Structure 1
Amino acid sequence: MTQPLQPLLHDSTVVLTAPSQAWSAVDGTVDGRGIHGFYHSDLRVLDRIVLRVGDAVPEHIQSAGPDAATAVFTSLARQIDDATADPRVRVERTRRVRAGELRESVIVRNALSAPVRTSVSVELRADFSPMQVIKAGLTGAEHPVAVAQKEGGLVLSSGPVSARLTAEGAEIAVDGVQSVLRWAVEVPAHGSVEVAWSVTVDDPSAVVSGASPSAEWSAFAASTGDSRLAGWLEKAIGDLQALRMSTAAQPDEVFLAAGAPWFFTLFGRDSIWAARMLLPLGTEIAASTLRILAHFQGTRSVDETAEQPGKIMHELRPAALTIPGEGVVLPPLYYGTVDATALWVMLLHDAWKWGMPTAEVEALLPHLEAALAWMRDYGDSDGDGFLEYVDTTGHGLANQGWKDSGDSIQWGDGTLADGPIALCEVQGYAYEAAVGGAELLAAFGRQGADEWRAWAGALKARFAEAFWIDDPAGAYPAVALDAAKRKVDTVTSNIGHLLGTGILTPEQSALIARRLASPELSSGYGLRTMSTDAGGFWPLSYHGGSVWAHDTAIAVAGLAKDGHTAEADVLADGLLAAAEGFGYRMPELHSGDSAADTATPVPYPAACRPQAWSAAAAVAVLAARLGLRADAQQGTLEVNPSDGAGRIRVSGVRFAGEARDIEVG
């Protein structure tokens, strides 16, 4: 029996407005294979959308679109054209996806001197397969699907979810779950004919919904001497607008969906990192992300969900998430993350520095105190003074840092480390959270600031003693401590997350900076997740040698904050080279192949795109190049550009609620 395979994504076209998306071949055809389909939330509503003109699929020549929600597929209908060399009958198919809706219009243009009589048809198939089944590469899942003709169109349904399909002027034929829309048309000489159809989804079980675009983000504009940065920023802002969502529980609070196609929902870690990177565009998304995560903050200890008092959640789903073949079953609200709680505190502190309104910050201080207490009382499960994780259920996530695949924490020879695992970067997060949290407590006259400063100081001392590994090429931090408190010795990108947290001495920071810019970690297209010297390195490994844009951007920001601007520019230049190679829509991750060996970055073929933190990485790189330092309490926004910044002019940077223009170079 052939093993099911996860669909590849790299050569498919996506049109999206969260929580809806349409994936197709480059010509717009949805043929039922792999990822192809129109989705709403976690269901594939249609798995087949095939356009024919004159009973033939038009020949594709171009795909384009003004934004993430729209694609225009241009093709030729040569079977109804004349016999001359120039094509004179063309087809323009425009696909638009809004939250809960797919609309298509088809225009047939005729440059001939005589009218053309033909037909336009669209073949559709209702599916309603769950996303987790599609991700596992499975087909034929057992679920009821009904298709019924109603006045003016069709109603497709499965369980509580229904979709209304309309196609004005079309003849509609239904055969089981399949249907065909057909228009008989006459295209006048030197004229055109347009037909259109749409499908609107109603899902009363959804826990998330779409959110309006940000006017502040729309007002942001950048002009740079390096056109790659401007191009990446423009594409990234458009993608981020399409990823804005809210929850049924808090419909007025906006957050960023993690990414398409698999993660159109609230993820604690992903949403926090994306919001943090986007602070130069305003505090709105940070404040609402903080509030929605505070709404779900843990209040009790529940082993099955990994909830604990003060803990920030990992992900939200409408129902339990079963990952076929992996033995993973996650409850609808799952708290299996070791880093989101400290990251929440870090985001609150940084948003305050960027000018989040005082009353909004103050309202979240009880949640801040609970989050800090979680680090002390629950995050350190064995009392050794470090935050660690272990799945106690047997069907949760085995690894609960950002590198959450089963093989992500390896020894230098490639063997897996045994948990509980204490990740190096999580200790850096905890230190920064304790120091930043103490600053907030003191500023607002609340108790505990001195206690948390002392806690952070003790953690810093323990980290220096327990994590560092001597090496002829220069000492470096272990990626983690294993269950026996041994230093897991693989050199990984995790060490880049320590920069800028304050847990390092200047000398330690310089050692890490040198490592990150070395050929073993810097691929020329960004920072590899694992050094090429490691036994488990493979450039197409999800967390063992690939490059993640957000991971690299975190290192770039930390390098810039600690004063290592030359190394920051090296990694930032790598990301810009990768962005250009991917048409400025940075995928979730790409291969760790060296830029010296390939003229363009090699895709990781199953990578999501767009991905919130990959898009937000563009703003993080801009902020690092400009050397932005915000302190709303002092009323200062410092600009200290790096040597690699060149000419940059941006408008619409927001500080303390006001728009700022910045020009350097």
Structure 2
Amino acid sequence: MKDLVSILDGNTFLVSDRRGDIEPSYDFPTGLFSFDTRFLSKWVLTLDGERLHALSVDDVESYRTKFFLAPGEPTHYLDAKASVIRSRAIVGSFEEELTVLNHLGAEVECTLRIEIGADFADLFEIKNSRQKRGRTTVTVAENELRLTYRREAFHREMVVSSTAPAQVDDTGMTFRIRIARNDSWSTRLHVSSVVFGARGEDIRATLPYGGSRSADAIRAEQQELIDRAPKLGCDCEPLAGAYRRSLNDLAALRYESIALGVRLIAAGLPWFMTLFGRDSIITSLQVLPFLPELVPPTILMLAGLQGHRVDDFRDEEPGKILHELRYGETAGFEEQPHSPYYGSADSTPLFIILLDEYERWTGDTALVRKLEPQVRAALQWIDTYGDLLGTGYLWYQTRNPETGLQNQCWKDSWDAISYADGQLPGFPRATCELQGYAYDAKVRAARLARTFWNDPEFADELERQAADLKRRFDRDFWIADREYYALALDADGRQVDALTSNIGHLLWSGIVDESRAGKVVEHLLGPRLFSGWGVRTLAADEGRYNPIGYHVGTVWPFDNSIIAWGLWRYGFREEAGLLCDTMLAASRYFDGRLPEAFAGYARDLTDYPVEYPTACSPQAWSTGTPLLLLRVMLGLEPQGEHLIIDPAVPPGMGRVELLDIPGRWGMVDALGRSRDPEDQPDDG
């Protein structure tokens, strides 16, 4: 991703190389995308037949980029007779201004060409190298190129126009230009991507932010959101930089839902620019203390799309919360089940957890009362469809073996759940963190039932169920001779004994018996799991360990933020601070933007965190990580109408001050300061 440049706004984003060029690729999604369709698959600029090379790239703002280019090989830069500036932006549509500068003392004639192509590939077709089944037609007009794709009722269109005269053909535009000495020439290219609905309407035009907007309007909207967030003052530059970058990325990752026409936070660029149950919920938990107004649209969207039937193709069941929602061709023709897809076992209990946490922060009792039926349905799902084997645990097994996800926990790659020796268990599987989420969901739902639904008997029953689950969990998941909780139970009730970061989520949920917590923490911060930059997803001596394996050895920032929150919950403040400190130290190497994941190499081996090759960046729950770490360091916890502030700032971090923290209490300020060794009193 470091060699790629991206811009995004709303439902549209573009990924190119550092020259600004886009070339057809099924290895990684470069192109112009909107609503899960790639509109531009080729966008290559040449000057007199030569490709250009980047001198510099200005990509400070999320929605626009400027490339400074010169023709020829890098060794020829000093002899360049001309240079090119590409200024581009996503402003509803995609616009690019091309400027050619003549550096000679005489008039020059040159030929500028932009090669243009649109494959209209669905994101799943890019991932799986599938070929298109519809038909693309090309129409050439004066200074305009139109490409149209149809497959039955599925209709997408891209129109490219130029403000300067151009020779237009089926594959691009050519400009024969004459530039006076020390002068320049320019044109503005406009690319509109049209998403047609079932009745032939332009879907984007129906959305509040869907049309073309000025760069000033985008900047103002993003800045307005950033200005609403609490103000951070601190002595730690990595923390300050990561906080600024997180707020900027959160503002950029918002997109508009077709279903409700509201702004939601997309899960991550480039693969996940849509609503994800699990990712969206965890991101909402991370940002809740800072921008609580971002949370209700996600809760309402998930509640509105809650499962109501048994649908094997979509893994849908009554009461279940969705996993992923897509708008592309493969979802529309049911070649993929993502319209929406329900293949996650954790989004349902996490939905309950988020609603309760949201009320605790905001006091929005109306939403809790409104969604009582959805919460009851989610609890019913946990106890029925979720308990596949009738053992009182939460299990998963896809109903759709052809296109459904095998693993339906957050580590959802095919090899993520394994025994210590590397073998894979059969299905169904009951991973440990699912039981923690279910426990926490029942405890929280009991509070909602007793406080808001006037149903104390139901609250008592939920608390009995939670206590029983905690007792059985400790009995069945604890590996006595290794002193940690198993990753999962297999279908025969045997422990899947790999040591993983999942045990940190157990601390966050509260399902860990107090007598076990110390051992769990020892494992989390011991050399097998802790790399020095964070907790690995899988311990370094396990059979499937791979430091650059997606879920089998990498370090995930969001995972570590949840673990830090769990350490804080059980009183391990120093250990939580260590994770906060190492995550923020890692963020320095990514310009403040923590990626989806980075390699699990030991810190003393690489001296810097190595990015996972195809990590999403920005990714929502990585973007939310610095915010949750800040909450942990300042010890922020709502209690009734008050916000408890109990800071434990890591050594060396100095002053951390957060002003205007919003909530049911109004606005509150929090201040913490690290206690460094030189600050300790002299006992002598």
Contact 2:14 2:30 in 1 (8 A): yes
Alpha-carbon distance change, 495 to 458 in structure 1, aligned in 2, over 3 angstroms = same
Aligned equivalents of 1:27 and 1:659: distance in 2?
46
1:66 equivalent in structure 2: 60
1:47 is matched with 41
- 1:303 equivalenced with 2:312 (yes/no): yes
CA distance in 2, matches of 1:636, 1:233: 21
Residue 169 of structure 1: aligned partner: 164
SS of corresponding position for 1:164? strand
**How far is 1:41 from its partner?**
1.9
What residue ranges of structure 2 are gaps of 5+ in the alignment?
Answer: 211-217, 674-684
SS in 1 for 2:319: coil
Contact 1:529 1:546 in 2 (8 A): yes
CA distance in 2, matches of 1:88, 1:519: 57
634, 641, 666: which one aligns with 1:634: 641
Task: Classify 1:261/1:502 alpha carbon distance in 2 versus 1 (closer, same or farther; 3 Å).
Answer: same
1:230-379 equivalent positions in 2, closer than 5 A = 230-252=240-262, 254-318=263-327, 321=330, 329-379=336-386
SS in 2 for 1:44: strand
Equivalent residues of 2:62, 2:249 under 8 A apart: yes
Give the alignment's TM-score, normalised by structure 2: 0.88
Which residue, out of 416, 420, 436, partners 2:424? 416
Corresponding residue for residue 470 of structure 1: 480
Q: What displacement does 1:563 show?
A: 1.6
Q: What residue number does 2:214 align with? A: none
Cα separation, 2, equivalents of 1:364 and 1:21 = 34
Q: CA deviation at 1:320?
A: 7.5
The RMSD of aligned alpha carbons is: 2.7
| 8 Å CA contact retained: 1:27, 1:73 | yes
Aligned to 1:103: 95
Q: How far apart in 2 are the matches of 1:436 and 1:489? A: 29
The separation in 1 between residues aligned to 2:35 and 2:269, in whole angstroms, is: 11
Indicate the SS of the match to 2:443: helix
Unaligned runs of 5+ in 1: 1-8
Give the C-alpha shift of residue 265 in structure 1: 1.6
Q: Kindly state the Cα deviation for residue 331 of structure 1 after the two structures are TM-superposed.
A: 4.6
1:226 equivalent to 2:236? Answer yes
Look up the match of 2:676: none
Mapped pair 1:203 → 2:203: no
- For residues 168-220 of structure 1, what are the alpha-carbon distances to aligned partners after superposition, in whole Å with 9 as ceiling and x for unaligned? 11313213xx112425242553x544321121111124999778856333443
2:145 to 125, 149, 154: 154
Question: Retained in 2: the 8 A contact 1:517–1:570?
Answer: no
| Residue 615 (structure 1) shift | 0.9
Deviation at 1:145, TM superposition (A): 1.5
Q: Contact (CA 8 Å) 2:111, 2:174: kept in 1 or not?
A: no
Distance 1:119 1:657 in 2: 64
Letter in 1 for 2:145: L
The 3 A distance-change label for structure 1 pair 293 and 181 is farther
Mapped partners of 1:27, 1:218: distance in 2: 33
Name the structure 1 match of 2:433.
425
Pick closer, same or farther for the CA change 1:393–1:50 going to 2, 3 Å: closer
Query: Secondary structure of 2:312's match?
Result: coil
Aligned counterpart in structure 2 of residue 593 of structure 1, from 601, 617, 620: 601
**Distance change >3 Å, CA 293–CA 303, structure 1 → 2:** same
Kindly tell me: are residues 411 and 321 of structure 1, through their superposed partners in 2, closer, same or farther at Cα, counting changes over 3 Å? farther
Residue of structure 2 equivalent to 1:434? 442
Q: State the alpha-carbon separation in 1 of the partners of residues 521 and 178 from structure 2.
A: 65
- Alpha-carbon distance in structure 2 between the residues aligned to 1:46 and 1:316: 22
- The change in CA–CA distance for 1:457 and 1:85 in structure 2 (over 3 A counts) is closer
Cα–Cα, structure 1 residues 319 and 114, in superposed 2: closer, same or farther, change >3 Å? closer
Instruction: Check conservation: 2:508, 2:562, Cα contact below 8 A.
Output: no
Distance in 2, Cα, partners of 1:76 & 1:299: 58
Residue of structure 1 in register with 2:70 after alignment: 76
1:223 CA drift (Å): 3.6
Compute the displacement of 1:393 (Å).
Answer: 2.8
Give the counterpart of 2:179 among 175, 180, 186. Answer: 186
* One-letter amino acid matched to 2:411: K
Do the aligned partners of 1:10 and 1:603 also contact (CA within 8 Å) in 2? Answer: no
CA contact (8 A) 2:139 2:147 kept: yes
SS at match of 1:128: coil
- In the aligned structure 1, how far is the partner of 2:113 from the partner of 2:191? 16
Structure 1 residue 53, shift from structure 2 partner: 3.4
1:403 to 408, 411, 414: 411
Distance 1:434 1:614 in 2: 27
Change (3 A) 1:307 1:120: same
The CA distance in 1 between the partners of 2:286 and 2:321, in whole Å, is 19
What is the CA-CA distance between 1:336 and the residue it aligns to? 1.4
Residue 343 of structure 1 aligns with an amino acid whose one-letter code is: L
CA separation of 1:465 and 1:51: change in aligned 2, threshold 3 A: same
Query: Which of 3, 7, 12 is the aligned partner of 2:4?
Result: 12
Is residue 627–residue 642 contact of structure 1 (8 Å, CA) maintained in 2? no
Amino acid of the residue matched to residue 157 of structure 1?
Answer: T
Work out the CA distance in 2 between the residues paired with 1:380 and 1:207: 40
- Tell me the CA shift for residue 506 of structure 1: 2.4
- Alpha-carbon shift at residue 56 of structure 1 (Å): 2.8
Which secondary structure state, in structure 2, belongs to the residue aligned with residue 182 of structure 1? strand
Distance in 2 separating the partners of 1:251 and 1:273: 22
Distance 2:352 2:90 in 1: 35
Matched residue, 1:518: 526
SS class of match (1:281): coil
**Displacement after TM superposition at 1:657 (Å):** 8.1
Match of 2:553 among 536, 545, 551: 545
User: More displaced, 219-228 or 276-285?
Assistant: 219-228
What SS class does the counterpart of residue 351 from structure 1 fall into? Answer: helix
Q: How many corresponding residue pairs? A: 642
Local SS of the residue matching 1:333: coil
- For residues 180 and 319 of structure 1, the distance between their equivalents in structure 2, rounded to whole angstroms, comes to 28
State which drifts further: 121-130 or 492-501: 121-130
Distance 1:62 1:385, change over 3 A: same
- Mean CA deviation greater in 575-584 or 483-492: 575-584
Q: Which amino acid aligns with 1:158?
A: Y
* CA displacement 1:370-389 (0-9 Å, x = unmatched): 21222122211221111111
